[in-house]
Structure 1
Amino acid sequence: MSRDAVTKAKRVVIKIGSSSLTGAAGSALDDSSVEKIVSVVADLKSRGAEVLVVSSGAIAAGLAPLGLTTRPKDLATQQAAASVGQGLLIARYTEHLARHKITASQVLLTTEDIIRRSHYQNAQRTLTKLISLGVVPIINENDSVGTQEIRFGDNDRLAALVALLVNADLLVLVSDIDALYDAPPTQAGAKAIHEVMKISDIDSLTLGGAGSAGVGSGGMVTKVEAARISTSAGIAMLLTSLKESAQTLSGSSLGTLFHAQANKSNSRMLWLAHASTPRGRLILDAGAVTAILERGVSLLPAGVTAVQGEFISGDAVELASADGKVIARGLVAFDSEEIPAMLGRSTKELAQSLGPEYERELVHRDDLVLL
């Protein structure tokens, strides 16, 4: 099967994991590994592609200088290791990219930079400008101050969201596993799956956990989730190993190519569907559920029966049916404490009793995406 999605990609986001950049747990950065991924970046640039790198490795790189032999379990030590390791990480990238006459930049993000719309737009503008200047942004989670990212996050999802952020053509995950397998790779008889046309085709697979080196936080589950995000947004995803990355990006049928499932969507809707974190939930009556699903209308107070959670105007909220099934996500126009007095009432009635500013939608259709 043709791999034009790989060889013709003009804007590529590459994510490389900790276990690919370091040796056994507690070791320093493997300079030859950084050199290899930089060589891949340089090759892509030489054929006219724009490249962004999402790089793990800050915590892992900081272990040895702190005298640690394994990834610490407590948050404060993880943050300390990230603080030490991030400088080592960006220094290596800067040094090796400079040999190819390529300028590197450091961009540190937290989940909040993707969740909040204003932050999202700022990150988008910065990355777009760096790309236009020919710079290769080296992106990482800001682990030294972020908490949720270290406890629950991984750079696979971040890479998928960055791909959405910059409207990429291809997302590449470089891992210590060379492809997706139909069973755990260590299991006898496990076979590599080189093409995935639809994510639903692999729903029955048993997926593995974190890498063998013990320094990462992701696993195959997070990689498939990254594929789910990117392919649903019209962005193909390639899973490969560092050893085979150059060959795979040249079009060889190695690794696993997850084909894009749709044309590229509006970035605002993609952000709302995949990057926003709901702060609460609105429970809808049957009529409102039907209207939103079938007619694409805005959500009015008359169609809401209950409000859950605490949020303010502009936050993302889930829209759910009476049985709890989430059907959509949207940006709410009122604070949670205002909404109970509005439930089941028409906008005209609300305007008469509460004022003209209440004669509007709870969630406008332009701020709503079906899930």
Structure 2
Amino acid sequence: MKRIVIKVGSAVLTEQNRVVRERMAALVDLIVKVREKGIEVILVSSGAVAAGYTLCKLDKKIVANRQALASIGQPKLISMYQKKFGKHDVVVSQILLTADDFDSRKRTYHAKCAVETLLEQGIVPIINENDVTATEELVFGDNDQLSAHVAHYFDAELLVILSDIDSYYDKDPRKYEDAKPLKVVREIPKESLEAECTPHGSFATGGIVTKLKAADFLLKRGRKMFLASGFELKDAYAFLIDEVHRGGTLFLKRFDEAEEGVETA
């Protein structure tokens, strides 16, 4: 792999109305090790609203308040990343995008040029939704969708979603004790894509449905997605560093798994 996108959500980065610095540090350590393998990394990160809430206690249920919290929290979030990456002498940048930016060839082209320039300089682009203006995306939690678009339009070979959901299961593991994780998924049932979105955390706006939609978007365009736990990063390390598929779910279209360069454990 030459280039990947890693997406981390609020359910992983935040807890008890704050950004969990230890989890952010663990994520940064993972990215640094991936880069040491010669792989370019684009990070799509949620967490701005939670970071803003630590400085201003507004009612998160009101959209205008969430937009204000995002505005307050975005510079704080980037500052935290700067400190964590700075310990590894890695420079980061901030890019705020909305779905509208991918509806315009001109804007998509300019965004891609900026990302290409940053990656050429060894800088990690950190992308987030522009929550202040992206009202619809803010409500429906489309950072999963955003990361899929980033992976496709910015020519990444793989999207890695680190979540509070460690795999895609054959049934809801919260309801059924016999639910089994699916290791490889090549097609997503239509009913799963149309299911109700069920976010877990107070700052989270996604759920398994938004992740499946992101995977479906990439599958239809011949790209891959890997879903794994963002709390315990052992499956991500195994897949990205050791190139062994132990846990998590890989979404891909191709039928020759040997071509993927990842062993199945």
Counterpart residue type for residue 237 of structure 2? A
* Equivalent in the alignment of 2:188: 199
Q: Distance in 1 between matches of 2:215 and 2:171?
A: 18
Q: Separation in 1 of the partners of 2:18 and 2:97?
A: 23
Note if contact 2:160-2:226 (Cα within 8 Å) is conserved in structure 1. Answer: yes
Give the aligned CA root-mean-square deviation in angstroms. 2.0
What are the equivalent positions in structure 2 for 1:150-229 lying under 5 Å apart?
150-187=138-175, 188-200=177-189, 209-229=197-217
Q: How many equivalent residue pairs?
A: 249
Deviation at 1:153, TM superposition (A): 4.2
Equivalent-residue separation in structure 2 for 1:115 and 1:229 (angstroms)? 15
Partner Cα distance (2:7, 2:198) in 1: 15
Give the Cα–Cα distance (whole angstroms) in 2 for the partners of residues 205 and 109 of structure 1. 24
Residue type of the alignment partner of 1:218: G
* CA deviation vs aligned residue, 1:80-112 (integer Å, no higher than 9, x gap): 110111111111111111111211000011222
Q: Displacement, 1:39?
A: 0.9
Decide whether the 8 Å contact of 1:209 with 1:219 is kept in 2. yes
Code of the aligned partner of 2:111: A
Native 8 Å contact 1:13 1:53 kept in 2: yes
1:241 aligns with 2:229: yes
2:72 is matched with which residue? 84
Number of the residue aligned with 2:52: 62
Q: CA deviation at 1:207?
A: 5.8
Question: One-letter code of the match for 1:241?
Answer: S
Partner Cα distance (1:22, 1:205) in 2: 26
Structure 1: stretches of 5+ with no match in the other structure: 1-8, 263-371
1:144 to partner: Cα distance: 2.1
Q: Residues 204 and 88 from structure 1, CA distance in 2 versus in 1: closer, same or farther, beyond 3 angstroms?
A: closer
Q: Is the 1:239–1:257 Cα contact (8 Å) retained in structure 2?
A: yes
Given that 1:57 and 1:89 are in contact with CA atoms closer than 8 Å, whether structure 2 keeps it comes out as: yes
Shift of 1:192: 0.9
Determine helix, strand or coil for the equivalent of 1:88: helix
Corresponding residue to 1:33 among 20, 23, 27: 23
Alpha-carbon contact 1:233-1:261 (below 8 Å) kept: no
> Residue 23 of structure 1 contacts residue 30 of structure 1 at CA under 8 Å; is this kept in 2?
yes
Shift of the alpha carbon at 1:205? 8.8
What are the superposed Cα offsets for residues 103-122 of structure 1, whole Å, 9 maximum, x if unpaired?
10000112221112211111
Indicate the residue corresponding to 1:330 in structure 2.
Answer: none
Contact 1:208 1:220 survives alignment (8 Å): no
Mapped to 2, the partners of 1:12 and 1:169 lie a distance apart of 6
Matches within 5 A, 1:1-371: 9-24=1-16, 27-68=17-58, 72-187=60-175, 188-200=177-189, 209-242=197-230, 243-244=232-233, 245-249=236-240, 250=242, 251-261=244-254
Distance across 1 between alignment mates of 2:134 and 2:195: 27
Aligned AA (2:85):
L
Contact 1:230 / 1:260 at 8 angstroms: preserved in 2? no
Query: Could you tell me whether the CA contact under 8 Å between 2:140 and 2:206 is conserved in 1?
Result: no
Give the aligned residue type for 1:146.
A
Amino acid at match of 1:255: G
Structure 1 Cα separation of the partners of residues 108 and 69 of structure 2: 27
Q: Say whether the 8 Å CA contact 1:22–1:57 is kept in structure 2.
A: yes
- In 2, Cα distance between the equivalents of 1:219 and 1:208? 9
Contact 1:237 1:260 in 2 (8 A): no
CA contact (8 A) 2:44 2:128 kept: yes
Q: Which runs of 5+ in 2 are unaligned?
A: 256-265
TM superposition shift of 1:227:
0.5
- Counterpart residue identity of residue 192, structure 1: P
CA distance in 1, matches of 2:153, 2:186: 23
Identity within the alignment, %: 39
> Could you report, residue by residue, the CA deviation over 1:134-174 in whole angstroms, capped at 9, with x for unpaired residues?
11100000112332221334100000000011111110011
Quote the offset at 1:197 in angstroms: 2.3
The TM-score with structure 1 as length reference comes to 0.63
Comparing both chains, which one has the higher relative contact order based on Cα–Cα distances under 8 Å and sequence gaps of 6 or more? 2
Deviation at 1:208, TM superposition (A): 6.8
Letter in 1 for 2:148: A
Alignment check: 8 A CA contact 1:60 1:85 kept: yes
Answer whether contact 2:200 2:207 (CA < 8 A) is retained: no
